Chain A
Amino acid sequence: MNIEDRLREALEREPAPADFKRKVMQALPAKKNLSIFWWNRRLSLALALAVIVAAVVPTVIVENRHRRGIAARDQLLTALRVTNTTLRRTKQMIHKNTRRSS
């Protein structure tokens, strides 16, 4: 048998101590607490983000409404100006026609 085969034979995995698995499994709850700690931190972070979003989103909505209101007001004023001009011209025409007929 050559040295490599000898090494393979000599270095076969040895079984773990009988209580190894039990020790690992017993140590898990401590780890779970750690996991709960991290989940709590994640939850806190998520809540903080939700509060920020809750505060920012309504402001953005109000701001948008305000901007649309201003745009609507401007359009209305333009329409009124156009109507005013049209009415004035119509009035002038009526005046002219009335004078001519009298």
Chain B
Amino acid sequence: MGLDFARIVDDNQSMVVSLAKRYLRDPETAEEIAQDVFLQLYRQLDRIETPEHATFWLRRAICHRAIDESRRRKLRPRVGLENIPEPRAETSAPDAMLNGRLRRLVSALPDMPRMIVLLRYQEDLDPSEIAALLEMPVSTVKSHLHRSLVVLREKLGRATAKQEACS
């Protein structure tokens, strides 16, 4: 079947680049890996049956490549959930500010919880899909999600209270 590779790039570049950037927190490396994943797909295009299959393949490939890259380069030392920095108080538009804070908090999560949170809330995958993608038990995914949400809620609440006290 002749899939249009340019169309596949159009449809999936945002997903692939966002996942890589938010996971690796290094835009240059993320872009490099994202390109590489598309080239990898191009090499195997004859095995890809539908555009949905291409999306599934790309999501899986970028997750595993990003995890491998992070392990290989040791982009940052492992940080425990309790060590996530408090977000800074800001004075811009409240929603944009809150979203920015949340993104920073997510980017400070340890590797695996961070990937799981990204797949859950950026890609809207359910825990069983995430478990299949990352080859881990569903219970582990749920537990990472639960702990991450607790920490994010707590840190976000604390930062918001601090900002309200200042204003």
Measured CB to CB, the residues of A under 8 A from B are 3-4, 6-17, 20-21, 23-25, 27-28, 31, 34-35
Contact = CB atoms under 8 A, between A and B. Distances in A.
Interface of B: 5-6, 9-10, 13-18, 21-22, 31, 34-35, 38-39, 42-43, 95, 98-100, 102-103, 106, 117-118, 120-122, 124, 149, 152-153, 156
Contacts of A17: 17, 31
Contact of B149 (A4, A24, A25): A4
Contact of A8 (B14, B21, B121): B121
Contacts, number: 81
Nearest to B153: A3
A24 B5 CA distance: 10
B152 A3 contact: yes
A21 B106 contact: no
B121 A11 contact: yes
A13 B35 CA distance: 17
B106 A11 contact: yes
A74 B5 CA distance: 68
Given A3-B152, A20-B31, A15 B14 contact: yes
A16 B16 CA distance: 8
Contacts of A13: 14-15, 18, 122
A21 B10 CA distance: 7
B118 A11 contact: yes
B164 to A, nearest CB: 17
Contacts of A10: 98-100, 102-103, 106, 121
